[in-house]
Amino acid sequence: MISAGKISLFLGGKELYSNVSFQITKADKIGLTGKNGAGKSTLLKLITGEFKIDEGNLSVAKETKVCYLPQEIMSSSTRPVLEEVQAANEEIVEIDRKLEEINHQLATREDYESESYMQLLTDINELNEEFLLKGGQGVGEQAEVILKGLGFSSSELFKPFNEFSGGWQMRVELAKLLVQNPDVLLLDEPTNHLDIESIQWLENYLKKFSGAIVLISHDRMFLDAITTRTMEINAGKVYDYKLSYSKYLVKREEELILQHAAYKNQQKEIEDTEKLINKFRAKASKASFAQSLIKKLDKMDKIEIDEVDSSALAFKFPEPIQSGKIVAEIQTVSKNFTDKKIFSNLEFTIARGEKIALIGKNGMGKSTLIKMLVGDTSYSGEMKLGHNVSVGYFAQDETTKLDGDKTVLETIDDVAVGEVRKKVRAILGSFLFRDSDVEKKVKVLSGGEKTRLALCKLLLEPYNFLILDEPTNHLDIVSKDVLKEALKKYTGTLLLVSHDRDFLDDLTERIYYIKNHGISIYFEKVNYFLNNLNSEIEEAAPSKKVAGENKNVGNSYKEKKQAKNELRKFKNRFSKVEHEIEALEAEVKQLDAKVGEMNYSSNEEANQLFDKIKKERDRLDDLIIEWEDLTEKIEGLSSIVN
């Protein structure tokens, strides 16, 4: 559907892409990765036509509907959100308009025998068929299902679009794309403004989406659940893998190890050959031999080492002084906003050393509870901090509190005191602000850089109670991993709000779940809790009755019989695939061992070995994908048979 051939693009005097080629087909679910500034968002804008390439060709097949969700939107619509989403399906809207117009003519005209009147009857029949074919009858229901899945309540569906905050407006924009049922979905950080439950709903929706998806996301778990192909943009090149994100990381690491080994051996061969050339160049009897060596070097395909972004956060939280056993005590606390109840008679304590994930849908009061704890908003009841408790607070809007006219260095230097002042540049360096970066004005920093700077300020004092509200917003996957490891080693108490399931899992051991104006406490890992929560929701949901389901009881027997036959077939293939995977893994291991044993005297032999390794690894990747697909099919059929 989309084809790019040797495209190049220059932005700001820098070559963003150099001779890049790729294709996107209907079945593709692609995760687009690369460090910040690599050109991920720009590539999506090239596909939509918002940006133009400098060289090469980029084409989108005729009648391919492409829908794009950017990171930010500008809209001021006053329509109710349900109507706003329904109207996004322009094809249905246009058919509906034509039907209304024809119906009006049929109701007002009386020339029943005329050709033009008969043509109207033909037109209305054709339009009705097209309306049904394109799902016009169910577009309202689809819009409602999508909006509710993204977190809107029934009453909010009829509120004007412009009354919602930017985050909720982004949800509406996402719903507008989904209701159009496009051929290609281009999504740039779609989970940024979603809570965990909405992310899980979107994840399940996109897994069943029949079109192609190109997805930019810093949410590892979201990427792994949806994508089966990963395209990495690095130093102007695109590296393409038929693997989900986590599997791609493993494969990429293996390739780089092999590449470095081959490069090292080739460099040794070049060095040895150059020594021979220099030795025999001056001797008349050996001159022809020296010339043949020179030609050999000229013809040699030089191995290039792929550029790898080795920059990463490197920090740990300072060791805090110990607080009392009780860090915070909450007694009969309630909170209302005008006529809206947020909390009613909260009762709980936070003990020293606990690491707590605060979870709940957006609008349920996560940030409000945190603001109550730090004294940023009023409430009724009593909240007390324990003995010797010092609070380090990272607010969701922390980056907006930074002074845009100050430099990075001034921002930290202004709040550093005592011995810490001597370490300001070193601390900034661990947050990737190095050399001239520290002289940048805050207002020119990217979202990720501002988040890193705001987190850096937390290191200036050894707080023993960290309260973090969405600290991973705008951080890339590598930076989030480093922050997570630092928090794992942190010896104080942690209260954390995040919509990133991978970040929360194995970091927190307690869950405070906000629902129905109260808090329920669970002593579980996040993913275990969320899986159970989803099961409860599915069990509680009323099952849809299928029309005519009782008319033919024999159907269930036929379905079971067919399912049993298919199950047997898939199980047989599953067994064969498992054996093939085991055999291939053993063969690849042997080939890898040969790489270390080679002397690389023959460049042709080395290339043949690397080609064979690549071919076998690609075959192994295909088998693993088939193995996963068969696993899903077997599980689905087993539920029917049993």
| Domain regions of the chain by residue span | 248-299, 326-538, 555-641
CATH topology (fold) of 326-538: Rossmann fold (3.40.50)
Across 297-311, 426-440, 488-502, which has the greatest mean pLDDT? Answer: 488-502
Residue 615 per-residue DSSP state: H
Give the CA radius of gyration of the chain. Answer: 30
Do residues 11 and 54 make contact, with C-beta atoms less than 8 angstroms apart?
Answer: no
The residue among 495 and 615 whose pLDDT is bigger is 495
Task: Output the pLDDT for position 561.
Answer: 59
The residue among 323 and 538 whose pLDDT is bigger is 323
Q: What Cα–Cα distance (Å) separates residue 282 from each residue in 135, 290, 366?
A: 82, 9, 80
Amino acid at the residue 312: A
Distance CA 496, CA 512 (A): 10
Task: Output the pLDDT for position 596.
Answer: 66
| pLDDT above 90: percentage of residues in the chain | 26
- Placement of tokens 């509200």 in the chain: 469
The residue among 642 and 24 whose pLDDT is bigger is 24
Neighbours of 570 (CB within 10 A): 19
Task: Output the pLDDT for position 452.
Answer: 85
Closest CA to 534 of 62, 252, 199: 199
Residue 545 has pLDDT above 80, yes or no: no
Task: Output the pLDDT for position 343.
Answer: 92
**pLDDT averaged over every residue in the chain:** 83
Distance CA 395, CA 401 (A): 9
Torsion angle in degrees (nearest 10) through CA of 191, 195, 196, 199 = -40
Residue 102 has pLDDT above 90, yes or no: no
Distance CA 320, CA 492 (A): 7
Across 118-127, 149-158, 349-358, 585-594, which has the greatest mean pLDDT? Answer: 349-358
Choose the weakest-confidence range: 125-139, 415-429, 501-515.
Answer: 125-139
Strand-pairing partners, residue 4, are 22, 58
355-359, strands of its sheet edge to edge: 391-394, 465-469, 493-497, 355-359, 510-515, 518-522
For the question of whether the overall pTM of this predicted structure is more than 0.85, the answer is: no
Confidence of residue 544 (pLDDT cuts 50, 70, 90): very low
For 349-389, the pLDDT digits (tens) are 999 999 999 998 888 889 999 999 999 999 999 999 999 99
Neighbours of 297 (CB within 10 A): 13
363's tokens = 């609008």
The residue among 390 and 578 whose pLDDT is bigger is 390
Task: Output the pLDDT for position 543.
Answer: 39
Task: Output the pLDDT for position 388.
Answer: 94
Per-residue three-class SS string for 169-237: HHHHHHHHHHCCCCCEEEEECCCCCCCHHHHHHHHHHHHHCCCEEEEECCCHHHHHHHCCEEEEEECCE
Task: Output the pLDDT for position 515.
Answer: 87
Distance CA 204, CA 225 (A): 9
Task: Output the pLDDT for position 542.
Answer: 39
Choose the weakest-confidence range: 6-10, 11-15, 161-165, 553-557.
Answer: 553-557
635's tokens = 């599980």
Q: What Cα–Cα distance (Å) separates residue 359 from each residue in 151, 550, 635?
A: 14, 42, 30
Question: Can you list the alpha helix ranges (DSSP code H) found in 375-514?
Answer: 408-413, 424-430, 447-457, 477-489, 501-504
Residue 334 has pLDDT above 70, yes or no: yes
Distance CA 548, CA 238 (A): 52
Pairing of strands 380-385, 326-337: antiparallel
Distance CA 225, CA 213 (A): 13
- Give me the phi and psi of 301, to 5 degrees please: -75, 110
Distance CA 231, CA 322 (A): 47
- Give me the phi and psi of 475, to 5 degrees please: -85, 140
Distance CA 289, CA 14 (A): 44
Closest CA to 501 of 308, 277, 224: 224
141's tokens = 């229901």
For 446-461, the pLDDT digits (tens) are 777 888 888 888 888 8
Closest CA to 101 of 124, 131, 71, 78: 124
Write the CB contacts of 253 (distance below 8 Å, at least 6 apart in sequence): none
Residue 576 has pLDDT above 70, yes or no: yes
Handedness of CA 239, 240, 246, 251 (dihedral sign): negative
Task: Output the pLDDT for position 416.
Answer: 81
